Chain A
Amino acid sequence: QVQLQESGPGLVKPSETLSLTCTVSGGPVSTSRYYWSWIRQPPGKGLEWIGNIYYSGSTNYNPSLKSRITMSLDTSKNQFSLRLSSVTAADTAMYYCASYCSIASCQSVGYNYYGMDVWGQGTTVTVSS
């Protein structure tokens, strides 16, 4: 089973770009099994899906954030990354990376389940000057 670990600065200034990395261990980020995902949770609130990236480089983004998001893969480092531009205080949250096995991607590699089965421990990002 893969393990995920988020990393990045805990404090970002308003209007700047938030950059986070998720390091994958226990399996290759180039697998066709998973869509590599980002989810965030503002303090005291619920979960918000940010987007995901597939091994092919294809991406799916939340429309509410799409204009500010860039996701990428680095197969040499077995990592995937999130960049969120023009941040404001509303972007203050715990940011999680997760592995999402979709209906199609799971079936393509012989699994019958689907969902976000592995999560990182999360990293807190505060937007403040």
Chain B
Amino acid sequence: IQMTQSPSSLSASVGDRVTITCRASQGISSYLAWYQQKPGKAPNFLIYAASTLQSGVPSRFSGSGSGTDFTLTISSLQPEDFATYYCQQLNSYPITFGQGTRLEIK
């Protein structure tokens, strides 16, 4: 299953609301996760089941979608949110990731 994210990169300011889109090449129900990766660090698990925040993740993060179309929204960007975000499908093997969306400071 191919996962396609858009945009590939995004410039935004602290306080902005941003949305990242992830599209699956076939239906995956809600078996989608989101990860955040900062430079030089391992990915950090943010969201599972398309919309459920992992423990400890700030509530400004939210996810939605099912089937083939999904979104990750950050309601009010904080300085620590500037990173690369990846979606991941867990519906079937092989597990696949989107190509990533780099969120940069404007």
Given contacts A48-B97, A49-B96, contact A119 B42 (CB under 8 A): yes
A115-B48, A119-B45 provided; 16 other pairs, C-beta below 8 A? Answer: A49-B94, A60-B94, A61-B94, A63-B94, A64-B94, A98-B42, A113-B54, A114-B49, A114-B90, A115-B33, A116-B33, A116-B88, A119-B43, A119-B44, A120-B42, A121-B42
CB pair A113 B52 closer than 8 Å: yes
Residues of B73-95 whose CB lies within 8 A of A: 86, 88, 90, 93-95
Given contacts A117-B54, A121-B42, contact A62 B94 (CB under 8 A): yes
How many CB-defined contacts (below 8 Å) exist between A and B?
60
Residues of B9-54 whose CB lies within 8 A of A: 31, 33, 35, 37, 41-45, 48-49, 52, 54
Q: Which of A62, A63, A116 lies in contact with B45, CB distance below 8 A?
A: A116
- The size class of the interface chain A forms with chain B is 20 to 34
Asked if A47 is at the interface (CB within 8 A of a chain B CB), the reply is yes
Identify whether the interface residues of B are mostly helix, strand, loop, or mixed. Answer: loop
CB pair A113 B48 closer than 8 Å: yes
CB pair A46 B97 closer than 8 Å: yes
B84 nearest in chain A by CB position: A46
- Chain A residues near B41: list those with CB within 8 A: 121
Q: How far is the CA of A127 from the CA of B41 in the complex (A)?
A: 21
Q: Which of A46, A60, A103, A122 lies in contact with B93, CB distance below 8 A?
A: A60
Asked if A80 is at the interface (CB within 8 A of a chain B CB), the reply is no
CB pair B31 A103 closer than 8 Å: yes
